[in-house]
């Protein structure tokens, strides 16, 4: 006994069933595509298994099938199996076997099990993972520091010609000259804020003139170099990571290594050395702009004229005060450049990794700069500078 059902008048997608004894055979014919899915779904759900204990789903007569059609066949097979009917593997032309396999395995993936974790246990686990990751990052940066130190030494004492002067000048321009506007503006504003807050407190003791001492020592020893380094870490350090990371994603670095180009000489050293050259000048510029902002605030808020400001500043600071800030600048620059290039070379071959490691580069650079600044302060205090 056999019955036939057409899903549409044009018979583009057809479902036929044949029954023999306690066996049911479903024959899929025509074009089983997304366009026909709704009609086919209703037709398949109306099929009555009756007393059939065995079933076969035959798609060898299909003219065309897409993922929606394959899913309907797979779903029908599973529904019948859940009712206790033995269903043979779905029969399709070889050209559609890969599609059927993908649909079957995608929808038979085991459910994800989420294990409940105590809040304290989860917190301790995160702390442990973060600690291990931090130690691994530290070891990696130290190892790369050794390699860069060796390469710099060789470039100085045994130049191979791989370090291009034009690339070095370009990096000085990018990291130094192009950063002058933002560094100058922020330093000027910081000088105004520092002078205003200092004067507001010192007025209580009638010692407004010592605002200049606070401004000069604070900017030249600490704030000028520290603020400049933080700005450069966010501006140039992140650019180093993004540029080298993008080259890693595009496989340009692999190509350079394949043809024998030393990537440290070509990519890392110009950036680090350019920043080491540029940052001391940026720090000096930041000091000048900060003092200028403080002088403007002192003139309008305290009535201190420029000659008085300069005389008091000369009494407040010395060469050592200036040199303390300048000595730190090349060290900060080296750390920022090293971290930026190191993280860029760690980028994986996807766009998300570029953004993630660029963020990490800025955070690590600022963290190390502040730690080094604290270390310098302790060292200078011990030696009496």
Angle in degrees, CA 301, 303, 308, rounded to 5:
125
Q: Are residues 160 and 282 in the same domain?
A: yes
Look at the block and give the residue holding tokens 């024959």.
27
Q: What is the pTM of this model?
A: 0.67
- Say what the pLDDT of residue 113 is: 60
Q: Tell me the CATH number at 85.
A: 3.30.750.24
Q: Is residue 174 part of a domain?
A: yes
CA proximity to 58, closest of 107, 83, 34, 23: 23
Shared-domain flag, residues 227 and 376? yes
Residue 171 and residue 297 in one domain: yes
115 band by pLDDT with thresholds 50, 70 and 90 = low
* 40 within a domain of the structure (yes/no): yes
User: Of 53, 71, 106, which residue is a domain's last?
Assistant: 106
Does 138 lie in the same domain as 93?
Answer: no
Q: What is the mean pLDDT of residues 121-136?
A: 86
How many residues make up the chain in this entry? 385
Distance, C-alpha 33 to centroid of its chain: 41
In a domain, 126, yes or no: no
Please tell me whether residues 263 and 377 are part of one structural domain: yes
Per-residue pLDDT reduced to its tens digit, 240-285: 999 999 998 888 888 888 888 888 888 888 999 999 999 999 999 9
172 belongs to a structural domain: yes
Q: What would the pLDDT profile of 174-191 be if each residue is shown by its tens digit?
A: 999 999 999 999 999 999
Domain that holds residue 137: 132-383
Q: Is the pLDDT of residue 35 over 60?
A: yes
Number of domains the chain is built from: 2
Question: For the residues of 84-135, what is the DSSP string, one character each?
Answer: T-EEPPPB--GGGHHHHHHHHHHTTPPPPPPPP--HHHHHHHHHHHHHHHHH
- Same-domain status, 318 and 241: yes
Q: Span 287-298, mean pLDDT? A: 92
The answer to whether 344 and 318 are in contact (CB under 8 A) is no
Residues 176 and 313 in one domain: yes
3-state SS track over 24-68: EEEEEEEEECHHHHHHHHHHHHCCCCCCCCEEEEEEEEEEEECHH
Domain assignment present for residue 127? The answer is no
d(CA 115, CA 156): 57
């Amino acid at each position: 006994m056999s019955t036939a059902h057409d899903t549409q008048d044009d018979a583009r997608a057809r479902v036929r069933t044949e029954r023999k004894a306690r066996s049911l055979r479903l024959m899929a014919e025509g074009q089983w595509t997304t366009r026909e899915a709704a009609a086919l779904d209703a037709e398949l759900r109306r099929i009555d298994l009756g007393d059939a204990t065995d079933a076969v789903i035959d798609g060898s007569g299909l003219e065309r099938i897409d993922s929606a059609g394959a899913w309907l066949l797979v779903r029908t097979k599973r529904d019948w199996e859940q009712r206790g009917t033995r269903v043979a593997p779905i029969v399709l032309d070889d050209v559609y076997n890969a599609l059927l396999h993908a649909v079957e395995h995608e929808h038979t993936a085991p459910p994800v099990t989420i294990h409940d974790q105590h809040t304290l246990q989860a917190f301790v686990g995160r702390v442990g993972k973060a600690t291990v990751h931090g130690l691994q990052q530290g070891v990696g940066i130290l190892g790369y520091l050794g390699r860069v130190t060796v390469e710099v030494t060789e470039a100085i004492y045994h130049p191979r010609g791989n370090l291009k002067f034009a690339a070095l000048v370009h990096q000085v321009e990018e990291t130094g000259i192009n950063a002058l506007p933002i560094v100058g503006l922020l330093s000027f504003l910081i000088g105004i804020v520092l002078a205003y807050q200092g004067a507001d407190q010192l007025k209580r003791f009638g010692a407004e003139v010592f605002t200049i001492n606070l401004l000069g020592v604070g900017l030249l020893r600490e704030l000028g170099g520290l603020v400049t380094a933080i700005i450069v870490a966010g501006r140039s350090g992140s650019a180093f990571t993004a540029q080298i990371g993008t080259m890693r994603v595009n496989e340009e670095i692999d190509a350079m290594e394949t043809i024998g180009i030393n990537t440290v000489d070509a990519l890392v050293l110009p950036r680090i050395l350019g920043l080491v050259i540029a940052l001391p000048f940026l720090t000096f510029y930041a000091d000048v702009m900060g003092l200028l902002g403080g002088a403007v605030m002192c003139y309008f808020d305290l009535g201190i004229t420029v000659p008085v400001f300069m005389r008091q500043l000369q009494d407040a600071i010395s060469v050592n005060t200036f040199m303390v800030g300048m000595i730190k600048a090349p060290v900060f620059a080296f750390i920022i450049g090293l971290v930026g290039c190191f993280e860029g070379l760690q980028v994986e071959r996807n766009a998300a990794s570029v953004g993630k490691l660029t963020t990490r580069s800025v955070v690590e650079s600022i963290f190390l700069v502040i730690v080094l600044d604290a270390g310098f302060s302790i060292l200078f205090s011990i030696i009496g500078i």
